[in-house]
A and B are shown apart, each in its own frame.
Chain A
Amino acid sequence: MKVKIKISNIKAIDMLKFKKLGEEREKAIETSYTDKVVYSYPINELAKVLHPKSMKVMVTNIIKETNDTKTIVFKRLNNEPFPPFRAGQYVVLDAKIKGVSYKRSYSISSSPKNLDQISITVRAVRDGIVSNYLVKELTLNTDMVLEGPFGTFTYNSLRDKKQILALVGGSGITPIMSLARAIYDKVENCDLTILYGEKTYADILFKDELDKICRECENVRVKYILSDEKSSIYDTGYISKEQISEYELGSYSYFVCGPVHFYHHLDKIFQELDIPNKYIRHDIYKECEVGLHHNKYTLTVLTDNKEIDIPCYEDEPILKALENASIKAPSKCLVGVCGFCRSKLIKGKVKTDYTYVRGSDINNDYLHPCVSYPLSDVTIKLCK
């Protein structure tokens, strides 16, 4: 049954109007102005300011913090300020060492208030190629390339409790230091208590400044805890359940930053204390892992229409094998979270971490090479 639509207020000439649709459009075009098309939009420009592809920088200062730790201060070569960032974010540094390019992510330790320069703070770890280079060999005025800022280890007033209990292991203090400075500079508006675990008194980073901030700013407190040294002034041992329970449960968000075993230690405590996920934020901090080069395999890399065979080791991430062979591969966070190194496994077996790999990517054999270890000869295809 077809309806015959009788439409009183649409006139008979409307049939003709259909044919005219195209003509009307023609006319609209012909009567429009002929000036050149200007592709200039403030928000697109702002996007570039906030998210530059990369930044050429120069080392303007190197500050010795402790025996094995230095703060490196950068300014941009074009003299522009750095993009605004949130305390807790990181940058990716591209370090050229003996002709090989190494990309590493470091939390920004400086305050978001001053964007003319930013700093990272690096502790030399045993066998760490990049950290040892940065701490022991880097000189003033060296030109480098930074990407970022990236990362979500930041305070969010809609999600987090206003009171933050930062649980810090060793050089994991760096993003929290940025937060303390941000609160001091009134850029962030939250209340911060830091439980800062270090090996010994002499290893404590930023102690003078932290103490000063605590004295002058009522919203920041710090408590030092030494694991490898007896002390009559400071708590000793590992950060414990009891110490955490001293801060009223249900009133804090917990920001955790430290080495992997530190996370495991705290995760157990959080579980025992029944603290919901919502209140626990982990930074993507990870110790530099150095393999013992057991079980060598061949990694075949498909990139730029080429097939390249390189060695790889069971105990080293595939991304590291690419780096050692100077094969340019996309990467950012290095701990499997950001997905920027996402590549396709074509052949072979790997041990990998799928936590942050998209479901359909897993179904289509994609993985994140920064957290993938070969268990056989492996072929991967880079996404670039």
Chain B
Amino acid sequence: MEYDAIVIGAGNGGLVSALTLQKQGKNVLLLESNNVPGGVATSFYRGRFEFEASLHEMCQFGGDTRSGDVRELFKRLGILDKVEVKELDETFHVITLDTNEEYEMPVGIDNFIKKMEEYVPNSTKSMEDFFELCDECKRAMNYLNESKGNPDKEVLKTSYPNFMVVASHSLQTVLEALKMPKKAQAILTTYWVYLGSPAPYISFVHYAIMLYSYVVNKPVISLNRSHELSLALFEEFTRLNGTSKFLTEVKEIIVDKGAVKGVVTSDNHIYKSNIVIANVSPNLVYGRLIPQAKVPKKARQLTNARILGARGVCVYLGLNKSPEELGLKNYSYFIYHTLDSKKEFERMTHLKSDNLVGVVLNNANPNCSPKGTTILYLTSLYFSKVFSDIATKDNYFELKEAIAENLIATFEQATKTNIFEAIEEIEVATPLTFARYTNHPDGVIYGYLAKKSDNLLPRIMNMFNENYIKGLYFVGGFGPRLSGYSSTYLSGEMAALQALKEMGDESEN
């Protein structure tokens, strides 16, 4: 069977690529190794709780009046009315364990600046500058996207001068340059774990766009869990006669004379296509799916140059008390030992790290579980292969339980609540779980570490030069827009548009 395009993996990026192409009248084959679409954008049941597997909150969504990029994408794809979302009225609540600090930040630029002034007197000026700069960065990025790799230097210089100045710098450098008081910098940086890279590493532009979207567009959750988002994309793809195969693994990508020609699945079927969009890691593609002799030197060098990003443990808790009974008021709790992101990043290379983000789903979605109960999930990241180093088949169950116990105890201590006595259901996902379901190297969940030349801008600026094999594209967290729901969705459309262009070029020849 010959297809216009084959998509490997029905994660966020793969689903959007598949639907975008199918919607353009292309004949797409979508292959997925699990039995549901979405990858980790899904949900699962334990007892009377339907747990969200991965979504904390989406950025770049917004509502009618502040429609964000992802919402616009969903509109283009015809699925906006198929998903029920809710905007949140808080950004983050951060608690420090070592210094006993606690900050709660609202949505809306004015509110945010005002609240920051309360916490850090004389921060207003730098905060105003910061949000102005965010706005310019956001517009500049839109311009870069529209220019499809060929921005006009004059336009950049005249319309986005400040963007040009900060574009190559880290979050920390720019906040310093804005003369933002240290404490305000520290509070502002709270979201760093969402991008899996601390303030000295993460690109200012990348962080600024995310924070700006949360503050302006508001954070958004999917009321029927992220599974509904994945399913909406998949159902629309199917309605347009897209072909999908579940429980089907790809064992080889066929490459001939530097171009993809199709794939071989584990049941030894051959599917032909000149376009393959990989919603899996380049490590898997260049390390296993394509015979080494056919992997170009540059592709090997690029893959070898990159650093794997965050691994994670997620503890899913179904509690038999309501959030009020437990004393949990907020939706998200960022719990760190200190607000120094670099220091905490180092701490999180060790397994005993108990920095975590806790989400109380009911506080955004009151009907997500039966009356008088709470869904709480705690996520902790690791920035090293420490879990792999320690886990064995003999200690795995114990290790999982010990880590979960440690995280729950930390959450209790930070929020002054009693969680253990209310646990009715508990499930723990580890790097092994993510490796099992996604096949990502070492079970990473955030793709590659966003650092130096592997930050957002260099990735986007070079993405057109890095198609080392003709017809092969990468989407998802390992792709050019890095990880996170909004980024992976948008990466899917970007690749599909590139592929469309390639197909168009071919028909012209």
Contacts and interface: CB of A to CB of B under 8 A. Distances in A.
Interface string B141-181: 00000000000000011000010111111000110111000
A28 B435 contact: no
Interface string B437-475: 001011100000000111001110110010000000000
Interface residues of B, number: 95
A84 B397 CA distance: 9
Classify the secondary structure of B's interface with A.
helix
B46 interface: yes
Query: For chain A, what secondary structure do more than half of its interface residues adopt (helix, strand, loop), or is it mixed?
Result: loop
Interface stretch (A195-203, A217-225, A352-360): A352-360
A83 interface: yes
Given A43-B443, A46-B396, A158-B405, A152 B287 contact: no
Given A2-B132, A47-B432, A35 B300 contact: yes
Given A21-B461, A84-B396, A39 B45 contact: no
B442 A37 contact: no
A42 B388 contact: yes
A51 interface: yes
Contact of A339 (B45, B394, B453): B45
Contacts of B286: 37
A190 B434 CA distance: 30
B228 A360 contact: yes
Interface in A31-86: 32-44, 46-51, 83-84, 86
A356 B46 CA distance: 8
Given A10-B165, A24-B458, A46 B391 contact: yes
B404 A7 contact: no
B393 A44 contact: no
B297 interface: yes
A97 interface: no
A359 B224 contact: yes
B224 A360 contact: yes
A294 interface: no
B396 A50 contact: yes
A154 B165 CA distance: 58
A49 B128 CA distance: 54
Interface stretch (A11-19, A135-143, A164-172, A239-247): A11-19
A32 B304 contact: yes
B432 A358 contact: no
Contact of A5 (B36, B162, B442): B162
B462 A26 contact: yes
A292 interface: no
Nearest to A362: B224
Nearest to A366: B231
B30 to A, nearest CB: 12
Interface of A: 2-5, 7-10, 14-15, 17-18, 20-22, 24-30, 32-44, 46-51, 83-84, 86, 152, 156-159, 276-278, 305, 330, 337, 339-340, 342, 356, 358-361, 363-364, 383-384
Given A15-B165, A20-B168, A384-B35, 17 more contacts: A7-B165, A9-B176, A14-B168, A25-B458, A28-B452, A29-B298, A33-B304, A36-B292, A37-B282, A37-B283, A38-B287, A39-B283, A39-B288, A43-B391, A46-B435, A358-B44, A359-B50
Interface of B: 35-36, 43-48, 50, 128-129, 132-133, 156-157, 162, 164-169, 173-174, 176-178, 224-225, 227-228, 231, 235, 243, 245-248, 282-284, 286-288, 292, 295, 297-305, 320, 385, 387-389, 391-394, 396-397, 401, 404-405, 408, 420, 422-427, 431-433, 435-436, 439, 441-443, 452-454, 457-459, 461-462, 465
15 contacts: A5-B178, A9-B176, A10-B173, A33-B301, A36-B295, A38-B287, A43-B391, A43-B442, A83-B393, A84-B396, A158-B401, A278-B320, A330-B35, A358-B224, A361-B231
